[in-house]
Amino acid sequence: MIEIRELKKTFESHSVLDGIDLNLNKGETLTVMGISGCGKTTLLKLVIGLLSADSGSIKVDGKEVTGLTEKEFNTTIRRRMTMVFQQGALWDSKTVGENIELALNIREGISEPERRDMVIESLERVSMEGTENMYPEELSGGMIKRAAIARAIAARPDYLLYDEPTTGLDPVLSRRISELIIKLDEELRTSSLVISHDISSIPHFSDRVAMMHGGKIVLTCEAGKIWDQEDEVFKDFLHGTLENV
Ligand SMILES: Nc1ncnc2c1ncn2[C@@H]1O[C@H](COP(=O)(O)OP(=O)(O)OP(=O)(O)O)[C@@H](O)[C@H]1O
Ligand SMILES: [Mg+2]
- Cα(196)–Cα(168) distance, integer angstroms: 11
137 lies in some domain:
no
Question: Is the predicted pLDDT of residue 183 greater than 80, yes or no?
Answer: yes
Output the ligand 1 site: residues, CB below 6 A.
11, 16, 34, 36-42, 86
Residue 53 belongs to domain spanning:
2-93+159-238
CATH number at residue 53: 3.40.50.300
Nearest to 73 by CA among 102, 50, 54: 50
Please give the distance, rounded to the nearest whole angstrom, from the Cα atom of residue 39 to the centre of ligand 1: 5
Residue 9 and residue 54 in contact, taking contact as beta carbons nearer than 8 Å: yes
Q: What is the tens place of the pLDDT at every residue in 47-64? A: 999 999 999 999 999 999
108 lies in some domain:
no
Please give the distance, rounded to the nearest whole angstrom, from the Cα atom of residue 84 to the centre of ligand 2: 12
> What does pTM read for this prediction?
0.92
Q: Where does the pLDDT of residue 172 fall: very low under 50, low under 70, confident under 90, or very high at 90 and above?
A: confident
Q: What is the tens place of the pLDDT at every residue in 87-142? A: 778 899 999 999 999 988 877 788 888 999 999 999 999 999 999 999 999 998 88
104 lies in some domain:
no
- Cα(153)–Cα(13) distance, integer angstroms: 37
Average pLDDT over the chain reads 90
Question: Is the predicted pLDDT of residue 191 greater than 90, yes or no?
Answer: yes
130 lies in some domain:
no
pLDDT at 106: 74
204 lies in some domain:
yes
**Helical ranges in 155-214 per DSSP H:** 171-188, 202-205
33 lies in some domain:
yes
Q: Where does the pLDDT of residue 218 fall: very low under 50, low under 70, confident under 90, or very high at 90 and above?
A: very high
128 lies in some domain:
no
How many domains does the chain divide into? 1
Please give the distance, rounded to the nearest whole angstrom, from the Cα atom of residue 233 to the centre of ligand 1: 20
109 lies in some domain:
no
Residue 85 and residue 164 in contact, taking contact as beta carbons nearer than 8 Å: no
- Cβ-count burial 85-107 (b if 16+ within 10 Å, e if not): bbebebeeeebbbebbbebbebe
